[in-house]
């Protein structure tokens, strides 16, 4: 029992290594903070198996057209919203595919609405409002593992049949009892007692990076280590798209740029056009059938061509 209590309160404990931080010069403060941050990656390395299990469950749902939801309050909720917002431009998926739900609504991303974290029923209601069901995955994010809103969301999501994950920095905390998979890196007490935007937030961000990136790689939205589905919506990304086309197809820069233009600036369409030797409309249609996966879209076009040859069609 004492062990459980210790885990439950770990994010609120005082850190003896930073007890005198208020009397230090700036150089010593940042040195101490850096030393504490160095402990985070080690803590995350000890929960990689659980992270991989979560990725597998998420991929299984997304492959069948389901969605991934992140939900939490305060810093945890904001980190979930951030990771969700990065998925469409990075991987070319619909904004509906990965969604962030934060207690208090999106206004809480820039203005503290911390009282909302105490409402367990609000977490449950937000799951129902998004139509969460058995085909979806839900990651409840709560550094302390005790946040009622996140617990209510995970509990309701699981009852609705969704695949559920708890992301916390407190093993054996209440939220871990509600989820199918629990990811709980133990980062230890914060530099400032209870300020979980620091080490706990860093650990959560690292793990969210892994969950979304590994899932998208497994789903086929990456070629090699290239973001083959990125949305080229500014000059920097357009230049990156041209480089990716060149690397994937051996086209020179001018030809790659012309192909991207012919594809209406859409990288994945350009890649399908180059790899399948087709026009932009056929490429787009095949991508729709392939749920945006470039290699699968190319296979679909090849299968259609083979079928035409087999039947003697034109």
Which residues are within 8 A (CB) of 309 and not within 5 positions of it... i.e. 6 or more apart? Answer: none
- Please answer whether residues 120 and 149 qualify as being in contact, where contact means their C-beta atoms are separated by less than 8 angstroms: yes
Euclidean distance between CA atoms 95 and 247, whole angstroms: 28
CB 244 within 8 A of CB 267: yes
In the set 36, 50, 117, 178, the catalytic residue is 117
The full 3-state SS of 133-164, as one line of letters, equals CCCCEEEEECCCCCCHHHHHHHHHHHHCCCEE
Contact in structure between 98 and 66 (CB atoms under 8 Å): no
Q: How many CA atoms lie within 13 A of 59 on its CB side?
A: 17
- Other C-beta atoms lying within 10 Å of the C-beta of residue 258: 15
User: Any catalytic annotation for residue 28?
Assistant: no
Catalytic one among 60, 86, 180, 299?
86
Residue 175 Cα to chain centre, angstroms = 19
Contact 132, 162 (CB under 8 A): yes
Q: Are 116 and 88 in contact (CB under 8 A)?
A: no
Sign (positive or negative) of CA dihedral 286, 288, 289, 294: positive
Sign of CA dihedral 296, 298, 302, 304: positive
Residue 46 catalytic?
no
Q: Do residues 180 and 165 touch, judged by C-beta distance below 8 A?
A: yes
Query: Which residues are tagged catalytic?
Result: 86, 117
């Amino acid at each position: 029992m004492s062990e459980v209590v210790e885990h439950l309160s770990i994010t609120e404990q005082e850190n003896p290594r930073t007890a005198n931080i208020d009397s230090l010069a700036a150089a010593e403060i940042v040195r101490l903070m850096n030393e504490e941050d160095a402990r985070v990656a080690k803590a995350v390395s000890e929960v990689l198996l659980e992270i991989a299990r979560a990725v597998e469950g998420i991929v299984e749902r997304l492959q069948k057209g389901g969605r991934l939801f992140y939900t939490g309050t305060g810093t945890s909720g904001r980190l979930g919203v951030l990771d969700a917002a990065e998925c469409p431009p990075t991987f070319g998926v619909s904004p509906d595919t990965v969604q962030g739900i934060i207690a208090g609504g999106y206004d809480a991303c820039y203005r503290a609405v911390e009282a909302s974290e105490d409402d367990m029923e609000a977490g449950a209601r937000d799951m129902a409002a998004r139509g969460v069901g058995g085909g979806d995955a839900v990651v409840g994010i709560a550094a302390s593992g005790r946040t009622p809103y996140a617990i209510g969301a995970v509990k309701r999501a699981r009852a609705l049949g969704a695949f559920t994950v708890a992301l916390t920095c407190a093993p054996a905390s209440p939220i871990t009892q509600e989820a199918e998979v629990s990811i709980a890196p133990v980062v230890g007490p914060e530099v400032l007692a209870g300020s979980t935007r620091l080490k706990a937030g860093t650990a959560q961000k690292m793990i969210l990076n892994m969950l979304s990136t590994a899932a998208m790689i497994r789903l086929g939205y990456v070629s090699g280590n290239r973001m083959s589905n990125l949305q080229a919506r500014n000059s920097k990304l357009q230049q990156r798209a041209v480089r990716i086309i060149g690397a994937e197809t051996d086209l020179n820069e001018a030809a790659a740029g012309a192909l991207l233009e012919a594809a209406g600036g859409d990288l994945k369409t350009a890649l399908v056009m180059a790899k399948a030797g087709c026009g932009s409309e056929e490429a787009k249609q095949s991508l729709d059938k392939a749920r945006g996966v470039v290699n699968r879209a190319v296979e679909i076009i090849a299968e259609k061509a083979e079928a035409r040859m087999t039947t003697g069609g034109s």
